Amino acid sequence: MTAFETLETDVLILGSGGAGLFAALHAANAGPDLSITVAVKGLLGKCGCTRMVQGGYNVALSPGDSLERHFMDTIEGGKWLNDQDLAWTLVTGARERIRELENELGCFFDRNEDGTVHQKAFAGQTFDRTVHKGDLTGIEIINRLAEQVWSRGLNRLEDHRAVELIGGGDENAIAGVLMIDMRSGGFLFVRARAVLLATGGGPTMYRYHTPSGDKTCDGMAMALRAGLALRDMEMVQFHPTGLLAGDETRMTGTVLEEGLRGFGAYLLDGGGERFMDRYDDGAERATRDIVSRAMFAEMRAGKVGPLGGLYLSMGHLDGAEVRRQFRGMVERCADCGFDLVSGRVEVVPTAHYMMGGVEFEADCKTAVPGLFAAGEDTGGVHGANRLGGNGVANSTVFGGIAGDTIGAWVNADDALHDPDKTAIEAAIDLCRMPLGQPQGDLGGDLEAVRDRLFAIMWDDVGIVRDAASLDRAAGDLTALEADLDGIGVAVGDLAYNLTWHDWMNLKNLILVSRAITAAAKARVDSRGAHYRSDFPDAGALEASAFTRVTLKDGDLETAAEPVKFTRVKPGETLLD
């Protein structure tokens, strides 16, 4: 057996985005004497999806807005597939969290002339409720959270990747997490009384995607292998306006934020004509799923620009205001040779967010005792479609709740469990499988595997799907995983061995891609981000069901579970 080191901590938090850092701070407040460790695949404060948030944070603050209105927008945007108790927790908790961000953590959000918080328009909402810091909101939030974590001296494991959740004890409660110290390539088992899964999602299995390459659905893959159920995995959100700057740059696929369309930007086809009013009364301010499908239809009809995309145009708007409100977007476009203020920017729908994830409760508990989950690793909050601005609210609201719950859990003298050593050995063997093997038929070319994964998911499990494409994808993913398993990685120095880590990244991405495909095959209707051309109708809202995917003996099993309308039923509203 490969040797590994052991570390003990009361609380282990996987991930340093909004969910992970809020959880760390709240757990520290709930248990000042607890040892709390934040583990992150990169550097704390410098990686994760929350830092990449541009647009803002949805919260009902204005006199004309209400919790009920925010809730109904969330449920209707989610096509009635949301867990309504989770959605209600989101909208109510957002009010508390935004005040905590400003008054306790020091965030500075944009203000109106009268001193009130400025809230801008985002698509799919009936009220302008998106709080922001220009178009760099995520940087503001993560910088302040990271400062607080550093100032409190909480333990950090940077450049450590989690590879397996390890159970133990009679109840198979969480015993800890097996990790790789990327600085040395050595294994580390972190024994913990409570673990939070907050690694984020990151649909980087698609040709065009917004997250950075280190986001590879590790948390969801670990959850599947640990026997946890994932819900709504077919619901992968495509952001309509991903920058299209050519295949030679990673800037392609990165988001041009939704506030641009909220401010009045137009979408144009390759001939310079607006088209969104033919698809929805909300035109460019329709929800992301509707706009992405409309763009995809225009692209398939051949109405495209020189790079194969469509255009975003703001030339008809006040240029000075565009520069003032969207400085980051203007500079990003300029770096890629586009003039956002007075020209046209070529864009393409880009995989952005996963509405699906681990089934969890409103207090962030999962089916495994001692294992908690928050943020994009979880499913149920957003249903079939996430409203822009609800993502960072989700992470921070449930991250704080997770910290509170974990603090109470550990303070109740919940004991450390002895780990299942067989599970640790199996996990190490899986990670080390490619080391020293021959390079295989593909000559060790992981980029060839990645390109095939991009093609499978974009072409067959993308914005529009059908039975034939999903069957084809299921077979192709199985074959692709077999090819990956046959690729060897030279042993050499395992310190920062990026080829080895890329192999593990692809292993996780293929597993989660299989889960997405299985859930999409199981859902024979069209809701939100999931559109099947062979089953275009939404079906009866009153009979809404969510999908559940589990992994058993290497095979994925799917089931359908009825949505519980705990607060409002289809055809009803909470509004007066």
Whether 443 has a pLDDT exceeding 70, the answer reads no
Whether 441 has a pLDDT exceeding 80, the answer reads no
The mean pLDDT of 478-494, rounded to a whole number, is: 93
pLDDT attached to residue 500: 96
Whether 336 has a pLDDT exceeding 70, the answer reads yes
Structure tokens at 70: 């925010």
pLDDT attached to residue 427: 97
Structure tokens at 122: 């985002």
Higher pLDDT, 57 or 171: 57
Whether 440 has a pLDDT exceeding 70, the answer reads no
120-139 pLDDT, tens digit each: 988 889 999 999 998 888 89
The band of 305, judged by pLDDT with boundaries at 50, 70 and 90, is: very high
Cα–Cα distance, 276 to 268 (Å, whole number): 8
The band of 550, judged by pLDDT with boundaries at 50, 70 and 90, is: very high
Structure tokens at 196: 């939070």
The mean pLDDT of 176-189, rounded to a whole number, is: 98
Which range is least confidently modeled, 283-297, 428-442, 458-472, 522-536? 428-442
The pTM assigned to this predicted structure is: 0.95
Cα–Cα distance, 90 to 109 (Å, whole number): 20
| Crossing angle for the helix pair 498-522 and 467-485, to the nearest 10 degrees | 150
The mean pLDDT of 559-568, rounded to a whole number, is: 97
The mean pLDDT of 47-60, rounded to a whole number, is: 84
Whether 3 has a pLDDT exceeding 80, the answer reads yes
Beta strands in 169-235 (DSSP E): 173-181, 186-197, 230-231
CB atoms within 10 A of CB 64: 9
pLDDT attached to residue 328: 87
pLDDT attached to residue 15: 95
pLDDT attached to residue 372: 98
- Provide the b/e sequence for 312-327 (b: ≥16 CB within 10 Å): bbbeebeeeebeebbe
Q: Is 261 a catalytic residue?
A: yes
pLDDT attached to residue 412: 87
Q: Is 239 a catalytic residue?
A: yes
Higher pLDDT, 180 or 413: 180
Considering the candidates 26, 261, 352, 386, report the single residue annotated as catalytic: 261
The mean pLDDT of 476-489, rounded to a whole number, is: 95
Structure tokens at 448: 């060839």
CB distance 36 to 16 below 8 Å: no
The mean pLDDT of 416-422, rounded to a whole number, is: 93
Whether 442 has a pLDDT exceeding 70, the answer reads no
CB atoms within 10 A of CB 3: 7
Structure tokens at 195: 């673990």
Higher pLDDT, 491 or 317: 317
pLDDT attached to residue 439: 74
208-238 pLDDT, tens digit each: 999 888 889 999 999 999 999 999 999 999 9
Whether 319 has a pLDDT exceeding 90, the answer reads yes
83-125 pLDDT, tens digit each: 999 999 999 999 999 999 999 999 999 999 999 999 998 888 9
Beta strands in 362-401 (DSSP E): 371-373
The band of 240, judged by pLDDT with boundaries at 50, 70 and 90, is: very high
pLDDT attached to residue 1: 66
Residue-range domains of the chain with CATH: 239-351 (3.90.700.10), 435-539 (1.20.58.100)
The mean pLDDT of 172-198, rounded to a whole number, is: 97
343-387 pLDDT, tens digit each: 999 999 999 999 999 999 999 999 999 999 999 999 999 999 999
Whether 445 has a pLDDT exceeding 90, the answer reads no
Considering the candidates 239, 450, 514, 532, report the single residue annotated as catalytic: 239
Whether 255 has a pLDDT exceeding 90, the answer reads no
pLDDT attached to residue 136: 85
Dihedral pair phi/psi, residue 300, rounded to 5° = -65, -25
pLDDT attached to residue 184: 97
- Using alpha carbons, list the distances in angstroms from residue 457 to 112, 328, 480: 43, 30, 12
Average pLDDT, the chain: 94
